Amino acid sequence: MFKNHTHSIEHRIVSIHQPHVRPIVRGKSKAKVEFGAKINVSLIDGISFLDELSWEAFNEGCNLIEYIEQYKSVSGFIQKNYWQIKYIVLVKIEKLSNRETSN
């Protein structure tokens, strides 16, 4: 770090006992850095489905259409009100709905 004049190391080990755990920078006022797995969960009829689990940070919005299609394949329909991911863009859902009705 000294030679490269940097303050961070990608994929650094922060725990010898749990070397798979990585810091995730959140930028929140309470906790700027969090440790542990990041998950994305769908809830269908009271049953939780784990859509994604990662020890690295990921953007939920990048896989939104994939999550919606998985939800539809399990439940048989799409309910717009149940998608509460902060990166939802209603246009994406509308495009998916329009694609389904045109088939």
Contact between 45 and 76 under an 8 Å Cβ cutoff? The reply is: no
For residue 45, give its domain range.
23-102
**Residue 52 belongs to a domain:** yes
**Residue 8 belongs to a domain:** no
Say what percent of the chain tops pLDDT 90: 0
Report how many domains make up the chain: 1
- Compute the distance between CA of residue 21 and CA of residue 38 in angstroms, rounded to an integer: 11
Instruction: State yes or no: pLDDT of 39 exceeds 70.
Output: yes
**Residue 2 belongs to a domain:** no
**Residue 73 belongs to a domain:** yes
pTM recorded for the entire structure: 0.52
Instruction: State yes or no: pLDDT of 92 exceeds 70.
Output: no
Contact between 52 and 18 under an 8 Å Cβ cutoff? The reply is: no
